[in-house]
Structure 1
C-alpha cells in the first residue's frame, strides 16, 4: 500500500492530540495524546505506621502528587490508531502508558502500557470488538456520571474505591464488544479470559453495561462478576503476587502504612460481583446526578483466591449512595459538590463499617487544554473495617487516616496534549 505521512499540526492549532495521516488505497491515522497533571496536597491524620498493638499511628502531611494519587487525572501518554478497511470497517488500536510526573516512573505497577493496550475491529453498523487490556463498564458507563469524572477527581472516589469508579480498574486478556449508538442508546459486554489450565472460570471476569443519553438526560448501568478477584481484578499489574499474596492491601507494620483497610480483609473471596447505576440531568449551567453501587465479596475463605488471616466466612456487601451537583458560572469556571454514604454489611461477627464523605471541586480553564483546580474532601468512618479493627477514614486511594476522620486538600494544574 502506498502511504504518505502528513505533518503533525495538532499542537500548533491548539487541538489535544497530534494526528499523523497516511494516504493510499485506504486511509489510516495515528494520534499521539496525553495528560500531565500534578498538584500540592495536604492530608490530615495520615498513617505513618502501625503500633505494636496494631493501632495506626499518624500525622499531617504536605506533599506533591501526580493527579492519579490526589488530583483530577492521572498523567499519561498514548497512541491511538485507525485504518480504513472499507465498507464502514476500521482496524483500531490503543496503547496508553501511565506515569508519575513526580519522578517519571511507570504507574500501574510498572506496566509499560498499563492504562490500555488493545487492538480490534470497528464497524459503523455492527459495533466494535476489541482484544487486550481494557476498562470494564462500571468505569465507562457509570463512573463518567459520578463526581469523580465530573469535577472531584480522586477526592470524589467512594471510600477505598471499592466500586471501581476511579478509572484504575482494568481487565487483562479481555474480549470486549460495544454496540453502535442507537439514537442515544448503546450497550456492551466484556469477558476476561482466566487462562488457567483445567478451569474455564478461574480468574475470569464477566461484565456488561448499558447507557442512554439524550436531551440532557444521561443514565448508565453496569454489572461485573469476577472470579478470584484477588487475582483477576486486584492482581492484574506486574507488581502483584499470587494467591498467597494480598493484592488488595496490607495490615501495615511499624514502618509501613496500612493499605485499603476498607476491603483488604476480603482477599479470600471466591467471587466479587457488582451492580452499579447512575443518572444525571443537565439543564443550562446546572447538572445534578445520583449514583448507587452494590459490591459483594462472596464465599470468603477460598484458599485458591488469597490469604484470610481473620478466617472470615460467608459474604459481605458494600453499598454506596452518592448525590452530586455541578454549576458552571462561565464556560471556563465550574464548581461541584458531592455527598456519599457507604455502608458494609455484618461479617465475621462485626457490625460492618460506615463512611460519610463530602467532596468539593473548583475548576478554572485557562484554555481548551489547560486547567487549574482546587479539590477538597472530608470523610468520617465508624464501625469495624475488613481487618477487624475500628474503621479509619480513607479518601480515595490516599494513605488511610490513623483515626476515624480525614481531610484532604489539593491545588493542581492539568494540561492535555
Structure 2
C-alpha cells in the first residue's frame, strides 16, 4: 500500500507565511521462488584452491526472481518557483532468510538526496545507479529480472555506485543522464585468472582516479519507438594503482500498441589492467520481446550472446550464450505468479564465468558457477511476487 496519507504541509520560514507541500511514500516488493539448477560447481576462491569442483543438481528457495525484494522510502518537498527537494532510501533484503542484501547495507539499493528544478533537471548525491544502466532498463526484455538476466555482463558489476553526483534531465520524450563517482565502493575478490582483487572502497587520498567512475546516456521514447546510447567507465583499484573498465552501448525498441514490444541492443566492452594492457575485450548482443497474451498473462523471451575477443590472454574462449523465458500470471495489479526458465551454453546462468568475475554468484548468494567438465546449465523457478 502506498502510504500517501503521510503527506503533510510544512511551514516555510519566510515572509508572507508561504506553505511548501511535502510528501513521503513507502513502497516495496516481496519476491520469493523455488528453483532447480543443474551442473552447479563452486565459486573459485583461495579456500578451494580456485577449483570450480564437481557437478551438482541444486534445489533451493530464493529471494528475488522476477524482481529484487526491497522496501524503500521516497519523498519530495515543494520549495516554490518550480524547485523541489527530493530523496530516496531503498533497502534490499532476502525474503527467504530475512537478511540484508548488498553486503549487509541498510540502504544498499539506493540512497540519495537532491534538488529538482522544473525545465532544468535534477541533481542528486549519494549511492545511485550508473547512467548507462538506468538508460538501458527500458531496452532489456526481462527488465533486469534478478534471476537469469545477465545484467553484470551487459552493464558491468559497478551498476550501483557510492559517492555519486548525478544529473537527470527530462525534456519531453528525451531523457539525459550523467554521473561521476568519487569512489564506487565495489570490491571483487581474487579468482582464477586474476592476480589481485579488483576494486575497493574508493576516495583514496592523493589518488583521485582509483575507484572513481563516470558515464552518460541519452534515451528517446516516443510514438512506440525508443532508442538509447550510453557510455560507462570504472577505474577500479588493481594492486596499488587502477585499471580501466569501459563499456558503451546502444539499444532500440518498438511497441505494437500495449500488447507487444520488441527490443535489442549491442554493448562494446574493453578492460585494461594497471599497466594499460587489455585483459578483456568482448561484444555483447541481446534481443527479445514482451507479449501480453491476455490482461492477466504476460510472456517475455530474451536471447543473449557474447563474442569474447580476448579474456586474460586467451583469444579462443568459447562464446557464451543464453536463452530465457518468463511467463507471469497477474492475480491483481500488485500480486503475480511467475515461471522462469533459462538455458546457458559455455557459461553458467546469467552467463556467469570468469568474464563476470563471478560477481552474480558473489552478490546474490546463489551459485551459478558452471562445474568442471560441464558446458551448459539449465534453471527453472516458480515464484510469487507482491508489490506494495
Instruction: Single out whichever of 41-50 and 213-222 deviates more from structure 2.
Output: 41-50
Matched, 1:58 2:55: yes
1:149-206: CA deviation from partner (whole Å, max 9, x where unpaired): 18x5522325xx223379x821110000111x22201201100013221133221111
Instruction: Single out whichever of 170-179 and 136-145 deviates more from structure 2.
Output: 136-145
Name structure 1 gaps, 5 residues minimum: 1-10, 231-242, 245-267, 303-312
| Conserved 8 A contact 1:269-1:297 | no
Shift in CA distance, 178/148, structure 1 to aligned 2, threshold 3 Å = same
What residue number does 1:178 align with? 168
Give the superposition deviation at 1:349: 4.3
1:330-387: CA deviation from partner (whole Å, max 9, x where unpaired): 22211121111112112424423410111101011111111111100001118xx976
Q: Distance in 2 between matches of 1:18 and 1:401?
A: 46
What residue number does 1:355 align with? 320
RMSD (Å), alpha carbons: 2.7
What residue number does 2:370 align with? 401
Higher strand share goes to which structure? 2
Q: Distance in 2 between matches of 1:49 and 1:282?
A: 40
What residue number does 1:338 align with? 302
| Conserved 8 A contact 2:327-2:340 | yes
Shift in CA distance, 111/98, structure 1 to aligned 2, threshold 3 Å = same
Report the 3-state secondary structure (helix = DSSP H, G, I; strand = E; otherwise coil) of the residue aligned with 2:66: coil
Shift in CA distance, 213/398, structure 1 to aligned 2, threshold 3 Å = farther
What residue number does 1:299 align with? 273
Q: Distance in 1 between matches of 2:143 and 2:353?
A: 27
| Conserved 8 A contact 1:163-1:294 | no
What residue number does 1:274 align with? 247
Query: Within 5 A, what are the aligned runs for 1:76-95?
Result: 76-95=70-89
Count, aligned residues = 344
| Conserved 8 A contact 1:147-1:156 | no
| Conserved 8 A contact 2:288-2:300 | yes
TM-score (norm 1): 0.76
What residue number does 2:260 align with? 286
Give the superposition deviation at 1:147: 2.1
TM-score (norm 2): 0.82
Give the superposition deviation at 1:398: 4.2
